[in-house]
Chain A
Amino acid sequence: MEPLSWTGSLSGLNYFFLIILGLLALMIVVSILASLVPSSDARAIGADGTLASDQGAAGFINMIIGYLFYAVVALVLVYLVLGVVMGTGAGIMGGISRQFLPVWAALIITYAVSITYKRKLGLYGKLFDSTVGMIGFGIVMFWVFTGIMGGVFDMLITHDSLSQVSGMKNKLPGTPLARADAEDYQWFLLGGDNLARDVFSRLIKGSWVVVQIAPMATLFAFMVGITLGLPAGYYGGRLDTVLSFLANLILAFPVILLFYLLVTPEIVLTGIPNYMATFLFVFPLIFVAILLNSRYYTQPSFRTPLLIVVLGVLGWLYLSLISSDGSIVQTDTYRIPGLPAMLDGFDIDGGILVVFVSVVFVNSPTVFRIVRGLALDIKTRDYVAAAQTRGEGPWYIMLWEILPNARGPLIVDFCLRIGYTTILLGTLGFFGLGLESESPDWGSTINAGRRLLALYPHAAIAPALALLSLVLGLNLLADGLREESLRD
């Protein structure tokens, strides 16, 4: 079988595409240069006294840029749609596009539903008013759908991400599978890596690792940061001094040194990550308990059952999360018993738990500082004084007066921080820490591919670009959210 080219039978479009892309770049440069020169647009006074002016040269250039941009978008869509229709007939891009068909469908449905109801969806709906936010959201959701569909349901992937196929070592993108059976997918779409595994399938499997860990770790870091940052900012004084000192202590550590100290197998043996998990993961429980209690403590008949149910569920999740094989900490010399194995809902793989804990640990001091700063600012507002006069308790003021009013910056930071967590996860993988070496996550794959970078760059470039696009998407999403939340 022939090796695939990048665009197959659509390669006639390539020149067209490149020309338009080049023109677009050129016109953007021209418009920037033109904006430096003051332009005088022609003005004409009509007979009725109205003033009419044309757009001038700048307006003309902007119009061209607009059309060229739409042309680029349209051509990309043509590549993708024809790719879905023609499959590998349209080369590697076509094959990839067809593999991603379920993701495209999910994206289209998400956008159609969201845009239809965008006026009823609050801040999320407003996101669809901003182009930047929509692009960012699209990229992020692309990887979220890819992660879930590929990671959980084994859709999208063309080959097993761990199996090695002899004869496919370091093969270039589009190489046909050696000695393929009829039911196999016939190509390695993005080539083979140095252990003869399919780069494309590993890319998709790797997205699940990120989609799984990054948002959850960020959420936990926010819980820790909020639960400690609000009282530090609101009460101030000695509590603030101690907590800020501890936060600065962690922040002064070089992140990589911290990772090296926490994630090595010897440290894992001592059970320190388990202790840290036990400590850090209890914060969501505390947070929810205080949140509900401070709101409903005046109605004990409602509060008590609510707290019992919510804390029961969360407590079970917490215990399942931190205990494995019936123990919380298990070392050679002693063990601390945890939830018995029969009640244990799910087991987190040891490596992932350690990575998770260290990422939460690194992120929470920064969140703490942000929340503390916001609390310091907001506690001087009139509505806080009003709540104090009403006789509300301090936790009610913190969680139901200050926190909702700090949500704008926090949501924006949440998006940015998921991106940052993704980068951290990649860093861990890049240094071969935490996850197993055969794990398909992007950092480990880049690490494995970088040794042969000058000869076979595809194995490292594919995950690098994937990581870049996801973090870029999160940054654009945060930018869009910031723009829209400032508009209120």
Chain B
Amino acid sequence: MGIFILRRLGVMVLTALCLTFIVFWLTNLYPNLEKLAKTQGNFRMSDEAVSSYLGDRGYLQPMPVKFGQWLGVMPGWVTEKEEGKTFGRCFDAGTPEKERPTRCGVLQGDWGFSTVFKDEVGTTVATRLALTGKLMLCVLLLMVPSALIVGVLAGMREGSKLDRSLSTFSIATTATPEYVSGVIFIAVLASSKFGLSPILAEWGWIDSKTLFLGSATSAMADANFWNFFLPVLTISLYGMGYIARMTRASMAEVMTAQYIRTARLKGVKFSDIVLKHALRNALIAPFTVIMLQIPWLLNGVVIVETLFNYKGFGWLLVQAASNNDIELLLAVSVVSVVVVLVTQLISDIGYVYLNPRIRIS
């Protein structure tokens, strides 16, 4: 087991390195750098001005060198201007010579400086990640129990009316991407002119103008049911159907097992069979699926945060990518890649741990 985890960790680090290098390479292509220079400097820069701007800031070094500097395994660039000003990757012109570090990169804990937010990348990512963490937590709290309940109820009597209704529901949710369900929810539940809200307001059932708030910006500081439920529901629904279908398949398989038949023949109550005998075995497979679903939630998070204007990690990704904010984008991709790889690792280890029939030599 130890060696298995170690090997997986090795592959993980390799994958993360490869992926960040790809992101690094794509963001550091010359047209992207030119755009960066023009947005940071001014839009009417001549080609020479662009290349001197980029050259001064170390952007025109060979790609592996730049990547090494970003990682912190190579000394950062230093530019000495003719007028005697000296600045570099790790310090600006005002820093006294003694306090200038040679290396500053991810390994030293320095994630760089965001050109869009004019702030340290580390703190920016951390604040946004905390906001998305809140969203994800609510999503998991809503999605996992409801998906498991739907799946177990559908799978315990395969082919029954309940099964068919719930399966149709799961198929419908997997067919509804977030940008569709979000749009429908906003139009039906959060519009003061259309959908349910005007009717309910007229009947006096709701105090505010709309049933839910169509924008989650206020939920960043103070999340409550009114302003936070729609984004959470939107993300949960899309992921839910898939987990529910997997749970159903797993439950249906367990229900045909020999030991369940024995229990039924012994006259055990049906509810006891489902809860005490079948459930434990049926939940092994969904556990893996739930873990592997988390990276997919990240996708949903980006869409929903854009749609509901919730300024979290997904919103940050969009901002960083559309403005080619290189260091921010790299940090964002490192975080998301690590999330993907860690969940994969947990799902593998958890599967072995939960299922005593599998042993890794």
Q: Which residues of A contact B322 (CB under 8 A)?
A: 260, 264
A468:B180 contact, CB within 8 angstroms: yes
- Please encode chain B, from 10 to 39, with 1 for each CB lying within 8 Å of some chain A CB and 0 for all others: 010001001100010011011110110000
- Please encode chain B, from 318 to 352, with 1 for each CB lying within 8 Å of some chain A CB and 0 for all others: 10011010000100110011001100100000000
Determine how close the nearest CB of chain A comes to the CB of B201; give it in whole angstroms. Answer: 14
Q: Which of A203-211, A212-220, A282-290, A469-477 contacts B (4 or more CB under 8 A)?
A: A469-477
Task: Tell me the complex Cα distance, A382–B317, Å.
Answer: 51
B177 close to chain A: CB less than 8 A: yes
Residue of A nearest to B336 (CB): A254
B190:A454 contact, CB within 8 angstroms: yes
A270:B30 contact, CB within 8 angstroms: yes
A457 close to chain B: CB less than 8 A: yes
A454:B193 contact, CB within 8 angstroms: yes
B179:A464 contact, CB within 8 angstroms: yes
A252:B340 contact, CB within 8 angstroms: yes
Determine how close the nearest CB of chain B comes to the CB of A449; give it in whole angstroms. Answer: 8
Take A31-B161, A266-B35, A460-B187 as given contacts and tell me if A471 and B175 are in contact as well, using a CB distance cutoff of 8 Å. yes
B174 close to chain A: CB less than 8 A: yes
- Please encode chain B, from 276 to 312, with 1 for each CB lying within 8 Å of some chain A CB and 0 for all others: 0000000000000000000100110011001100000
Q: List 13 A-B contacts (CB under 8 A).
A: A35-B161, A249-B15, A254-B337, A255-B299, A257-B332, A427-B303, A443-B179, A446-B183, A457-B183, A457-B186, A457-B195, A460-B187, A472-B175
A249:B177 contact, CB within 8 angstroms: no
B324:A266 contact, CB within 8 angstroms: yes
B42 close to chain A: CB less than 8 A: no
A162 close to chain B: CB less than 8 A: no
Determine how close the nearest CB of chain B comes to the CB of A345; give it in whole angstroms. Answer: 30
Take A461-B183, A461-B184 as given contacts and tell me if A430 and B303 are in contact as well, using a CB distance cutoff of 8 Å. yes
Given A252-B15, A267-B32, A461-B184: 5 more A-B contacts, CB < 8 Å: A254-B317, A254-B333, A450-B307, A468-B175, A472-B172
B227 close to chain A: CB less than 8 A: no
Determine how close the nearest CB of chain B comes to the CB of A49; give it in whole angstroms. Answer: 28
B191 close to chain A: CB less than 8 A: yes
Q: Which residues of A contact B171 (CB under 8 A)?
A: 472, 475-476, 479
Determine how close the nearest CB of chain B comes to the CB of A401; give it in whole angstroms. Answer: 28
A267:B177 contact, CB within 8 angstroms: no
Q: How many residues of A contact B (CB 8 A)?
A: 51
Task: Tell me the complex Cα distance, A419–B317, Å.
Answer: 25
B172:A35 contact, CB within 8 angstroms: no
Task: Tell me the complex Cα distance, A472–B162, Å.
Answer: 20
A261:B27 contact, CB within 8 angstroms: yes
Task: Tell me the complex Cα distance, A266–B32, Å.
Answer: 6
B187:A457 contact, CB within 8 angstroms: yes
Task: Tell me the complex Cα distance, A244–B303, Å.
Answer: 29
A471:B183 contact, CB within 8 angstroms: no
A248 close to chain B: CB less than 8 A: yes
Q: Which residues of A contact B332 (CB under 8 A)?
A: 257
Determine how close the nearest CB of chain A comes to the CB of B327; give it in whole angstroms. Answer: 15
Closest 5 CB pairs of A and B: A260-B321, A457-B187, A266-B31, A472-B175, A471-B175
Q: Which residues of B contact A32 (CB under 8 A)?
A: 161-162, 165
B321:A455 contact, CB within 8 angstroms: no
A111 close to chain B: CB less than 8 A: no
Determine how close the nearest CB of chain A comes to the CB of B188; give it in whole angstroms. Answer: 8
A261:B180 contact, CB within 8 angstroms: no
Q: Which residues of B contact A269 (CB under 8 A)?
A: 31
Q: Which residues of B contact A255 (CB under 8 A)?
A: 299
Cross-interface CB contact of A419 among B15, B157, B162, B175, cutoff 8 Å = B175
B26:A267 contact, CB within 8 angstroms: yes
- A interface secondary structure, majority: helix
- B interface secondary structure, majority: helix
Q: How many A-B residue pairs have CB under 8 A?
A: 154
Cross-interface CB contact of A475 among B175, B210, B307, cutoff 8 Å = B175
B217 close to chain A: CB less than 8 A: no
Take A245-B11, A252-B340, A254-B299 as given contacts and tell me if A261 and B23 are in contact as well, using a CB distance cutoff of 8 Å. yes
Residue of A nearest to B190 (CB): A454
Q: Which residues of B contact A468 (CB under 8 A)?
A: 175-176, 180, 184
A104 close to chain B: CB less than 8 A: no
A467:B302 contact, CB within 8 angstroms: no
Q: Which residues of A contact B161 (CB under 8 A)?
A: 28, 31-32, 35, 62
Task: Tell me the complex Cα distance, A2–B323, Å.
Answer: 48
Q: Which residues of B contact A260 (CB under 8 A)?
A: 317-318, 321-322
B214 close to chain A: CB less than 8 A: yes
B208 close to chain A: CB less than 8 A: no
B160 close to chain A: CB less than 8 A: yes
* Among B177, B186, B191, B324, residue most surrounded by chain A Cβ atoms (within 10 Å): B177
B247 close to chain A: CB less than 8 A: no
Determine how close the nearest CB of chain A comes to the CB of B234; give it in whole angstroms. Answer: 12
Q: Which residues of A contact B333 (CB under 8 A)?
A: 253-254, 257
Task: Tell me the complex Cα distance, A31–B171, Å.
Answer: 21
A108 close to chain B: CB less than 8 A: no
Q: Which residues of B contact A431 (CB under 8 A)?
A: 306, 318
Determine how close the nearest CB of chain B comes to the CB of A276; give it in whole angstroms. Answer: 12
B165:A254 contact, CB within 8 angstroms: no
Determine how close the nearest CB of chain B comes to the CB of A418; give it in whole angstroms. Answer: 12
B192 close to chain A: CB less than 8 A: yes
Determine how close the nearest CB of chain B comes to the CB of A342; give it in whole angstroms. Answer: 31
Q: Which residues of B contact A467 (CB under 8 A)?
A: 177, 180
B194 close to chain A: CB less than 8 A: yes
B15:A450 contact, CB within 8 angstroms: no
Q: Which residues of B contact A266 (CB under 8 A)?
A: 29, 31-32, 34-35, 324
Take A457-B194, A479-B171 as given contacts and tell me if A254 and B340 are in contact as well, using a CB distance cutoff of 8 Å. yes
A180 close to chain B: CB less than 8 A: no
Determine how close the nearest CB of chain A comes to the CB of B121; give it in whole angstroms. Answer: 16
Take A35-B162, A266-B324 as given contacts and tell me if A455 and B191 are in contact as well, using a CB distance cutoff of 8 Å. yes
